[in-house]
Structure 1
Amino acid sequence: MPAHILIVDDDGSHRTVLRTIIEDWGYEVSEAPDGETAVAMTQERPYDSVLMDIRMGGMDGITAQKQIAKHNPSIPVLIMTAYSSINTAVLALKQGAYDYLIKPLDFDVLKLTIERMLDHTRLAEENRSLKENNSVKNQFGMVGSSERMHELVETVTTVAPTHAPVLITGESGTGKELVAKAVYQASERSNKPFVTINCAALSESLLESELFGHEKGAFTGADKRRDGLFWQANGGTIFMDEVGEIPLSLQAKLLRVLQQGELQRVGSDAILHVDIRVIAATNRDLQEEVANKTFREDLFYRLNVIGLEVPSLRERQADIPLLAEHFMNMYAAKYGKNIVGFSPQAMDALVNCPWPGNIRELENTMERAVIMATTEYITDRELPANLRKAFLEQTGTNAGSVELPLGDVSLESLEKRAVQAALKKHKKKVDAANALGITRATLHSKIKKYGLEESKRK
């Protein structure tokens, strides 16, 4: 079924031209002659997108866009504006419009922008469907609907009932500890202790004492005997995060625990027997560490009896809307905010962000957005400037798009870019002036103001 686009313009001939072109592209089209009619029509049915002029008799495009966003912010609205109304178009962007194009329209740019808008609508619909029918959020607490997440959950379910060691690999911030807890919760040891340690957080001497325990007087400050984490986890599970950071001198002792279930407290000759399942995690390439002689090969193979790789967020892009909504709801409840969703621009930025910090970065971003939100919807204004900038750089911008994060938009920068785009497109200045809707004298003034003539000669 083709996407349905609503064209809103009080110029009947312009609506007819747009309708003919857009229908030729394979879309279904409806028309509205003014803002009031457009608002009423969007309340009657959920259009896939709206293409709307700013200046119209009666309710203008800005007011209509605001009303549409209030009723259904998931409908992306593309604004059409004359060059002289760029500042008004920026206002529309700030209150939730998807993008704007400058008249006279470049139909190639219009087609690409509509395709990008509809990609957003499609993604939102897929997200709703997946959330209702295919989400893997379950007793493990993992959120996702992507194929990678389904595979990971199926593997966890299969291997959890065994007693074999598990090595979880993946980039920082991907949720390796959550996967470790999932293995523990689905295992036969779920009613036994679950002990965690970050191996990178302690010095070699402290790590040895923390893991294996020590006798009274074993070293300065050891005023009493202390049981180590392995002993505390006896019968249960120990999760060793950043296991690749364990010094070589301690790796032999860890191997002994894995192979014989034996350990010795620091300062003691007595051998203690423990029954422990070890789940380890690392963001390092341990095979490379083995090749570099910084990690024992026998220990690596003993830890890696069952290997689980946690995908990065960019490898499970389809899960971003679900995760964003999950964190939005969590922090909205924490901070007592009534937030019900995202604007189209905000969700586009979230989905297209590369997320080098993975889920941890997304969670922090959503906490910030919830704190900063002043309405029921999170918009791109609440997102960090670097995220918005990265989104614009990754997706590219057209001649009528804002190329700066909205929080940093200046009318002069937009004006300069619009003039540059017109000069680049039209060989004759008179044609560039006509395209911008200004006089040739005004165009010369702008060229001089921004030093464009000089840059053109260069």
Structure 2
Amino acid sequence: MSSILIVDDDDQLRQSFAKLLKEEGYSVDMAPSGEAGLEAVRDKAFDLVVLDVQMPGMSGLEAFARIREIDATLPVVVMTAYGTTETAIEATKLGAFDYILKPFDIAGVLDLITQALEAGHMMRARVEMNVAPDSARPGAIIGSSPPMQEVYKAIGRVAQTDATVLIRGESGTGKELVARAIYQHSKRAGKPFLVINCVALPETLLESELFGYEKGAFTGAASRRIGKIEQANGGTVFLDEIGDMPLSIQAKILRLLQERSLEPLGGNASIDVDVRILAATNRNLEKAIENEVFREDLYYRLKVVTVNLPPLRDRVNDVNLLADYFMTLFSKEMKMDNPGLTDEARKMIRHHPWPGNVRELANALKKSLIFSRGYPVRPEDISQVIAGPDQAGPSVTDGSDMDRVVGEWAREMLTAGGDTARFDYLTDRLTAIIIREALQMTRGNRSQAAKLLGLARPTLLSKIDKLNLSIETRVQTDYETGQKS
């Protein structure tokens, strides 16, 4: 459970904000002043601090500077009224993760807090390489095969330099872990490390997310916003799935790499920045250049150093090492003894092609552990969550088929017209299907379903209530699961 400290002299806002975060499943502490907040940070390890800028006594900026002295990797989000936006921007330039404008939008604040916690985790959770398979520490790169030894050597050679690195490999091979390992062994460790997924946002939003914007740059730009690249000044930016980045933004990234400067949307002056760029892609960039969807000049700027991650099928001897690691890790997460795998299950996973690579193997073992109910995982348990080699039809990991099916359904529903809130309706329909499947897989256990979905249990319960879901499935007993659902 992530722990958050709220520092604000407004008692009503502090209490209501804490209540909101607790309902989302966070552990929350409160402090009424900068001095009290600083004392709390000295006494307890937090995952995030939300700090008001204007407070009597020690100001928010002074408290922020002191917190940075105690722990430079602790993410801090500052809160401010519209009248003090420039102060918040200065805090962001000095290393604050971002700022919240009062009065704030609840959904936007919760999303920002999720991003800040993830960024903090990226900076603080150490990535270990080639550790013992029975290690239960998350974020390890597992493997002793010759291809993985080459990866470890590459990380060691490039980490202490400031060279731009291009990490290549199929989806699910662990490109983000390699980027984190490079960052954590670099001279910039302890400075900001921000991850930008280049396919998660539409083109216009991605550009403003990366480079920021000036007040009035577009409709709704009520104040200046610092972009992620400027936020990470002095640190490292990881551009994930850069092969899918729009050409217009590729041009701006090229300028950043060439001139070490950027220009916010709506701005007319360049801002100098000092960031190291790590990039990753599962695309064939050479083919993309031929098809004129990726810039050749950017390609050569990115591949100063290239780290190639092998697919799981090319390191079969690592499969059982990975399986032992994930079984230990997930058993610990589920607060149960590790039941292990039968010899037949080990043989099965060794011979499965794993098109989704390490990510698919991890997901399959996590779900199989739920199905096994404390007994050693058998081939039948694994078969329930992956498409077997003799089964007809596409694998459950076949994204193209899934996209086609969902796309056809979406087109049919959109063509039908009707409710003006069509997007919300479709989103709720998909959400309901996903939650029902998770609850069916866990036999109605809400706690395990929340873990499977990556949600806080209160969030899952609120979605079930909002969607008025009637779950017709057998709820496991405390004897079966070791916990109430």
The TM-score normalised by the length of structure 2 is 0.52
Structure with the greater relative contact order (CA < 8 A, sep ≥ 6): 1 or 2?
1
| Residue 182 of structure 1: aligned partner | 181
Cα deviation 1:244-265 (Å, max 9, x = unaligned): 1111112111111001101011
Give the distance between the partners of 2:288 and 2:242, measured in 1 at CA: 12
| Residue 241 of structure 2: aligned partner | 242
| Residue 151 of structure 1: aligned partner | 150
Aligned partner letter, 2:335? G
Deviation of 1:389 (Å) = 3.1
Give the distance between the partners of 1:336 and 1:301, measured in 2 at CA: 48
Give the distance between the partners of 2:332 and 2:211, measured in 1 at CA: 41
Instruction: Give 5+ residue unaligned stretches, structure 2.
Output: 1-129, 393-485
Cα deviation 1:333-382 (Å, max 9, x = unaligned): 11122224211100000111000111111111011111111344211121
Cα deviation 1:51-100 (Å, max 9, x = unaligned): xxxxxxxxxxxxxxxxxxxxxxxxxxxxxxxxxxxxxxxxxxxxxxxxxx
Are residues 155 and 323 of structure 1, via their aligned partners in 2, closer, same or farther at CA, if it must alter by over 3 Å? Answer: same
| Residue 464 of structure 2: aligned partner | none
Give the distance between the partners of 2:188 and 2:339, measured in 1 at CA: 39
Aligned partner letter, 2:254? L
SS at match of 2:344: helix
**More deviation, 355-364/337-346:** 337-346
Give the distance between the partners of 1:251 and 1:347, measured in 2 at CA: 44
Give the distance between the partners of 2:329 and 2:168, measured in 1 at CA: 27
The TM-score normalised by the length of structure 1 is 0.55
Percent identity of equivalent pairs: 46
Aligned counterparts, 1:36-75, within 5 A: none
Give the distance between the partners of 1:292 and 1:388, measured in 2 at CA: 34
SS at match of 1:214: coil
Cα deviation 1:110-150 (Å, max 9, x = unaligned): xxxxxxxxxxxxxxxxxxxx986x99999972111111111
Aligned counterparts, 1:21-420, within 5 A: 141-385=140-384, 387=386, 389-390=388-389
Q: Is the 8 A contact 1:137 1:143 kept in 2?
A: no
Are residues 137 and 385 of structure 1, via their aligned partners in 2, closer, same or farther at CA, if it must alter by over 3 Å? Answer: closer
Deviation of 1:293 (Å) = 1.4
Q: Is the 8 A contact 1:136 1:143 kept in 2?
A: no
Deviation of 1:388 (Å) = 7.3
In our comparison, the structure showing a higher alpha carbon Rg is 1
Aligned partner letter, 1:173? G
Are residues 182 and 295 of structure 1, via their aligned partners in 2, closer, same or farther at CA, if it must alter by over 3 Å? Answer: same
SS at match of 1:354: coil
SS at match of 1:365: helix
Size of the aligned set, in residue pairs, is 263
Aligned partner letter, 2:292? K
Give the distance between the partners of 2:159 and 2:181, measured in 1 at CA: 8
Q: Is the 8 A contact 2:198 2:239 kept in 1?
A: yes
Give the distance between the partners of 1:131 and 1:217, measured in 2 at CA: 51
Give the distance between the partners of 2:176 and 2:246, measured in 1 at CA: 21
Aligned partner letter, 1:321? N
Q: Is the 8 A contact 1:136 1:144 kept in 2?
A: no
Are residues 219 and 345 of structure 1, via their aligned partners in 2, closer, same or farther at CA, if it must alter by over 3 Å? Answer: same
Aligned partner letter, 1:228? G
Deviation of 1:391 (Å) = 7.5
Q: Is the 8 A contact 1:352 1:391 kept in 2?
A: no
Q: Is the 8 A contact 1:170 1:310 kept in 2?
A: yes
Aligned partner letter, 1:301? Y
| Residue 423 of structure 1: aligned partner | none
Give the distance between the partners of 2:150 and 2:358, measured in 1 at CA: 18
Aligned partner letter, 2:168? T
Q: Is the 8 A contact 2:368 2:385 kept in 1?
A: no
Are residues 140 and 155 of structure 1, via their aligned partners in 2, closer, same or farther at CA, if it must alter by over 3 Å? Answer: farther
Deviation of 1:309 (Å) = 0.7
Are residues 136 and 142 of structure 1, via their aligned partners in 2, closer, same or farther at CA, if it must alter by over 3 Å? Answer: farther
Aligned partner letter, 1:259? Q
Are residues 329 and 194 of structure 1, via their aligned partners in 2, closer, same or farther at CA, if it must alter by over 3 Å? Answer: same
Give the distance between the partners of 1:189 and 1:215, measured in 2 at CA: 28
Q: Is the 8 A contact 1:164 1:277 kept in 2?
A: yes
Aligned partner letter, 2:324? E
Give the aligned CA root-mean-square deviation in angstroms: 2.4
SS at match of 1:168: strand
Give the distance between the partners of 2:367 and 2:172, measured in 1 at CA: 17
SS at match of 2:315: helix
Are residues 296 and 388 of structure 1, via their aligned partners in 2, closer, same or farther at CA, if it must alter by over 3 Å? Answer: closer
Deviation of 1:385 (Å) = 4.1
Aligned partner letter, 1:185? Q
SS at match of 2:220: coil
Are residues 138 and 332 of structure 1, via their aligned partners in 2, closer, same or farther at CA, if it must alter by over 3 Å? Answer: closer
Give the distance between the partners of 2:191 and 2:180, measured in 1 at CA: 12
Q: Is the 8 A contact 2:354 2:360 kept in 1?
A: yes
Deviation of 1:214 (Å) = 0.1
